[in-house]
Each structure stands twice: as C-alpha cells, then as structure tokens.
Amino acid sequence: MTSKHPETLALHAGWRRDSATHSVAVPIYQTTSFQFDSAEHAANLFGLKELGNIYTRIMNPTCDALEQRLAALEGGVAALAVGSGQAASAFSVQNLAKAGDNIVASTDLYGGTWNLFANTLRDQGIETRFVDPIDPEAFRRATDDKTRAYYAETLPNPKLIPFPIAEVAAIGRSFGIPLIMDNTAAPLMVRPFDHGAAVVMYSTTKWIGGHGTSIGGIVIDGGNFDWEANPARQPALNTPDPSYHGAVWSQAVKPLGPIAYILKMRVTLLRDLGAAMAPFNAFQFIQGVETLALRMREHSRNALAVANYLASRKDVARVIHPAHHTGIGADRTAKYLPHGQGGLCGFELVGGAEAGRKFIDALKMFYHVANIGDARSLAIHPASTTHSQLTESEQAAAGVTPGYVRLSVGIEHIDDILADLSQALDAAKV
C-alpha cells in the first residue's frame, strides 16, 4: 500500500485478500494452533529465523491484520494487539523496566493507568516518578541512571491540554530514553511518531473500536529509536535474555527490521503473561478502523460545536475543550491539534455538584456511562462517580471540580445533541 492518506490506509493497509479463500473481509481465524509444514519449519518459527503463526496466544492472522493496519496508520513499523488498554500500558513499560528501575510519567493520566503505575508496578519494584507536563523540563529533572522510559497521554482528560510530545521526546532522546505515548483520545489527529515519540499505545476499546462493543489494546513500535546507542540505559534490550536462549534483543532480530522492542514484547511478555487479544475482537476493531477517519471528523466537529454552545450559556461557569484554552494550552492545541480536537469536552456548572447530578439525570439521549469514544454521546459527573472516593482537594488536583461534567460527544446530528444538552441544563437549574 503506497498511499499515505489515512482514509485509504484505514481500508487497505495490512490486508488484500485471504490467500486460501480470496475473502475480501479479514476472516476471524478462530483457531488456537497452526499446522507446521515440516519439522524444520517448526524449528525456524520457534528460533525466530522466520516469522509465522504458531499459537494464538502469541500471534494470530486476524490480530496480525489489525496490527499491520494500525502500525501503517501511525507511521510505525510493527504492532502488538493485546487484551485491553491496561495490558498495553503495562506491557509498554514492563518491556523496558524491571525491579529497581524507574519511569517518569505525566501526572495527567487515565485513573486506571495511574493505579497501575502507582500501585501494581510499584509492587513489582518499578518506581513511577509523576511530573506535571506543563513544564517539559520536569521530565529531565526527574531522570536518573535507572530511568528507562517516559510515559504520557496525548490528550488527557479532564484538563484536555495536549501533551508537549516533541519537547519531552527530545529530552528523552538526549538520555537514550524513549517516550511512550497513550494516543487513545487522538487517533489520526496526532501521530506521536511524527513528533519524536518511540512507542504509541491505544486502548482500542475507545474511538478505534468506536461502537462500545469490545475491550482491547495495542502497542505500536515506531522503529525510530536507537536501542543500542546507550546499552547501559536500556539493559532489557542489550543484555542476554535467559528466557530466550540468551538472545540480546537489539541484535537478535536485526535481519527482520527495527522491531526489537515489539518482537521482544510478543515473544516474552505476551508468551508469559498471556494478555492476548481474541481474534473476534480484532475483527471488531478492524471494522472500527475502516471508518475511523470519518468518525473522528464528526466527533471533532460536534464536540467543538458543543463547546461553543456551552460557552454561550449563563449556567455554565467554564468550558474545557482544546480550542477554548488560553495561554500554554492554546499554544499546544495550535501545535498538536490544528485540524480537529477530538470528541471530548468538559464543563463546569455554576450550580456545583447538585446541578451536576440533576443534569446527568435529566439527559434523555446521552448515555450515562464511564466509557468514552463510542459513536453515541456519553456523559458522566466525575465528582459523584469516578472520583467520588477522593477528597475535594484531591479531586481539584485531578482537575475535577464539584460541578464538572465530562462529555464524550458522539456522531449523532448536532441539533439532537444540542437539544438534549439544552433541556438537561434547563432541568439542572438549582
């Protein structure tokens, strides 16, 4: 596929037809195992002399089509589909850091990622140093000899201030440290590899799937990071791996291309921890990807119209949308999201927490759910749900005020979206 246009790649990259049946749609290869041609063929596959299907926990043709398609769309070289966005976040870090090592991560993260880093990875001996992304230099200050990766989200909610990808990627590269970007909220709008990131991950559960049907995740290797340049900085890829006959990953797979990072993840972490994506879910995500470009345009257009409408209401104290920032937020939106700002929009009701609860209860078309990225419009009042276990000051630090409402704006007709918001705002007056 020679095209660079995302609309075309989304339909054609990574797949032409099934070699056995000539099926145009990617079949769901619902099989655990694949027959080897010969003893030699089997030995070559296990020895990584050639790549091919062995067992669906490690590789599957339906998942492979999704991996190739998303790697192409992102401008990367290869990808690994896994069972959830959480598994993708965990693997992206565990592939580089082990007990005694640390990573530096943005404070502005999805709560599940925060818990994974602050608790589960900490219990495994991997320390996360959280820094405020308003100042990119904070990443440099938190770095020491044991820092193996930087980690951030492109468009984190609730603040919705784009992350300074190029600035932090450059600091990392000066140390030999890769920047891992969670691009879940900005597919096709931002390509983090274009700004110097080395790894991109997604919760495919959100906009990539796009229809709220399946949980999944993916890690994409940019193939643009020199893992060998500073071997002491990246021991996981530069020292013999006893779990694979002493393979040194930066060397072992060179003939197959710059895929050391993602291949190691597949044949060690996925092999051992087993968070594989089911072929059926990969099929669902392929369906989602095919219309992703169209949907992201509509999500962005509708969310901007919603933000502008909310800004005109007297009962709305503040609108949080990338196009409504001032100062650094506005500069970052201009740099990273010039052609569309995605489907998320937040706002704060003048009437505080009580108005927030009334507003949610009055919605007729919007769904009240914890998810984002569905084609349908979704809403949640974080102070009384996702963030209710935090104190008010902890909520404030996370950007959640008592009257704050988060919207994931869908692709319904804009008149219907605004009508539902308007009647719910009227009903929420306290």
Which residues sit at the interface with ligand PLP, rule CB under 6 A? 84-86, 110, 112-113, 153, 182, 184-185, 203, 205, 215, 217, 372
For ligand PLP, give the closer residue by CB, 84 or 268: 84
Q: Using CA of residue 136, residue 137, residue 139, residue 145, what is the dihedral sign? A: positive
- Shortest Cβ 104–ligand PLP spacing (Å): 18
- Shortest Cβ 156–ligand PLP spacing (Å): 7
For 206, what's the count of Cα atoms within 13 Å in the CB-facing half-sphere?
26
**Residue 380: CB partners within 8 Å, gap ≥ 6?**
360, 368, 369, 370, 386, 405, 406
- Shortest Cβ 209–ligand PLP spacing (Å): 9
**Residue 12: CB partners within 8 Å, gap ≥ 6?**
1, 3
For ligand PLP, give the closer residue by CB, 185 or 380: 185
* Helix/strand/coil percentages in the chain, nearest 5: 40, 15, 45
**Residue 40: CB partners within 8 Å, gap ≥ 6?**
none
For ligand PLP, give the closer residue by CB, 219 or 372: 372
- Shortest Cβ 59–ligand PLP spacing (Å): 21
For ligand PLP, give the closer residue by CB, 84 or 377: 84
Nearest residue to ligand PLP, scored by beta-carbon proximity: 85
Residue 35 backbone phi and psi in degrees, to 5: -70, 130
Residue pair 106/133 in contact (Cβ under 8 Å)? The answer is yes
- Shortest Cβ 372–ligand PLP spacing (Å): 6
For ligand PLP, give the closer residue by CB, 11 or 215: 215
For ligand PLP, give the closer residue by CB, 184 or 224: 184
For ligand PLP, give the closer residue by CB, 321 or 358: 321
Q: How much is the CA Rg of the chain, to the nearest whole Å?
A: 22
- Shortest Cβ 422–ligand PLP spacing (Å): 28
- Shortest Cβ 242–ligand PLP spacing (Å): 30
The b-or-e profile of 183-197 (16+ CB within 10 A means b, else e) is: bbbbbbbbbbbebbb
The phi-psi region of residue 212 (left if phi > 0; otherwise alpha if psi is between -120 and 50; otherwise beta) is: left
Find the helix or strand (DSSP H, E) in which 202 lies: strand 199-203
